[in-house]
């Protein structure tokens, strides 16, 4: 059982280049999330999705776009990368359930380390 | 505006002793709190959680305490082991967040010394 898989693991971009980060989960989770982690800032939510075909903005959405065409995949796109987007990106997923404890437990991928020069 | 704060960036504890990690929050509407553990080059993994209707939750060596009046929670690890060396994040959730969004603190790096 792979859980949440992120590709690529590392990437270096030049300013202005574009790229897509892929997240795939095999747990049949309804909800998926993209976070970025920066030193001293913790994890901040970029975008999230409550189901196939739906997405919503999180805390820091500017400069990013997302798509959820299939339930198991959640894509994060950078159309024109900037040095401020240098970060570690984490994808997560969670169940849709009425169980208050289970619904809050998010399962994370191993992260993508992105450097924008 | 940091709604969840972990004011200690790092903590060093001797093996076998108690580790206490602290977390403060500002939004009184938060009703569920979680602790995640993160090793280098890995994603965070869920450790333990607590609902706002409780003031304590215990799971083996890990206990989380919640003080709602002080808007403070703490994670106790007893006894501390070398494998506990990691970054610990606290997170909070609000009941109106239908998508189960979490707000994370900045993290505390715990080092267990032999």
In this complex, the residue of B41, B99, B106 whose CB is nearest that of residue A42 is B106
- The pLDDT of residue B62 is 98
Residue A97 has pLDDT above 90, yes or no: no
Helix, strand, coil distribution of chain A in percent, nearest 5: 5, 50, 40
pLDDT recorded at residue A1:
60
The confidence band for A40, taking pLDDT boundaries of 50, 70 and 90, is: confident
Euclidean distance between CA atoms B48 and A103, whole angstroms: 14
**What pLDDT sits at residue B37?**
97
The band of A26, judged by pLDDT with boundaries at 50, 70 and 90, is: very high
Tell me the chain B residues in contact with residue A35 when contact means C-beta distances shorter than 8 Å: 104
Closest-CA residue of chain A to B94: A104
Say yes or no: B104 contacts chain A, CB-CB below 8 A.
yes
Q: CB distance from B69 to chain A under 8 Å?
A: no
Q: Which pLDDT does position B101 carry in this prediction?
A: 82
What per-residue confidence (pLDDT) applies to A41?
Answer: 86
Output the tens digit of pLDDT for each of chain B's 114 residues. 679 999 999 999 999 999 999 999 999 889 899 999 999 999 999 999 999 999 999 999 999 999 999 999 999 999 999 999 999 999 998 876 666 788 999 999 999 999
Say whether pLDDT at A110 is over 90. Answer: yes
Q: How many CB pairs under 8 A join A and B?
A: 61
What residue segments make up the domains of chain A, in order of their start?
A: 4-116
How much is the pLDDT for B2?
78
Distance from CA of B46 to the nearest CA of A (A): 7
Q: Which residues of B touch A58 (CB under 8 A)?
A: 101
Residue A107 banded pLDDT, cuts 50, 70, 90: very high
Residue B26, domain extent = 4-113
Q: What does the alpha-carbon distance between residue A111 and residue A55 come to, in Å, rounded to a whole number? A: 20
Of residues B32, B41, B98, nearest to A110 (C-beta): B41
DSSP string, A36-68: EEETTTEEEEEEEEEETTEEEE-SS-TT-EEE-
Q: Are the C-beta atoms of A90 and A106 separated by less than 8 Å?
A: no
Domain total in chain B:
1
Q: Considering only CA atoms, which of A65, A67, A63 is closest in space to residue A80? A: A63
Lowest mean pLDDT among A26-30, A48-52, A104-108, B95-99: B95-99
As a whole number, mean pLDDT of residues A70-86 equals: 96
Higher per-residue pLDDT: B31 or A26? A26
- What lies within 8 Å, CB to CB, of A83 at 6+ separation is A15, A116, A117
pLDDT given for residue A9 in this prediction: 96
In Å, how far is A87's CA from the nearest CA of chain B? 13
How many helices (H) and strands (E) chain A has is answered by 1, 11
Which of A100, A104, A111 lies at the smallest CB-CB distance from B102?
A: A104
> Which class would CATH give A4-116?
mainly beta
Residues of A with CB under 8 A from a CB of B: 4, 31, 33, 35, 40-45, 48, 50, 56, 58, 90, 92, 94, 100-101, 103-111
Nearest-by-CA chain A residue for B90: A42
| Residue A111 contacts residue A6 (beta carbons within 8 Å) | yes
């Amino acid at each position: 059982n792979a859980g949440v898989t992120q590709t690529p693991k590392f990437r270096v971009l030049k300013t202005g280049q574009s790229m897509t980060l892929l997240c795939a989960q095999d747990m049949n989770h309804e909800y998926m999330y993209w976070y970025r982690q920066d030193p001293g800032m913790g994890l901040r939510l970029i975008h999230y999705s409550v189901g196939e075909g739906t997405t919503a903005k999180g805390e820091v959405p500017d400069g990013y776009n997302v798509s959820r065409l299939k339930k198991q995949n959640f894509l994060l796109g950078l159309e024109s990368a900037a040095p401020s987007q240098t970060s570690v990106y984490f994808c997560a997923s969670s169940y849709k359930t009425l169980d208050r404890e289970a619904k809050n437990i998010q399962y994370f991928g191993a992260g993508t380390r992105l450097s924008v020069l | 505006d940091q709604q969840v704060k972990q004011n200690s960036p790092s903590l060093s504890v001797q093996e076998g002793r108690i580790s206490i990690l602290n977390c403060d929050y500002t939004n009184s509407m938060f009703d569920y709190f979680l602790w995640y553990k993160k090793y280098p080059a890995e994603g965070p993994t869920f450790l333990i959680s607590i609902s706002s209707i409780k003031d304590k939750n215990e799971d083996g060596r890990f206990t989380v305490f919640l003080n709602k009046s002080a808007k403070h929670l703490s994670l106790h690890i007893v006894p501390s082991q070398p494998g506990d060396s990691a970054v610990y994040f606290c997170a909070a959730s609000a009941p109106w967040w239908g998508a189960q969004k979490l707000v994370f603190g900045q993290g505390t790096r715990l080092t267990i010394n032999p």
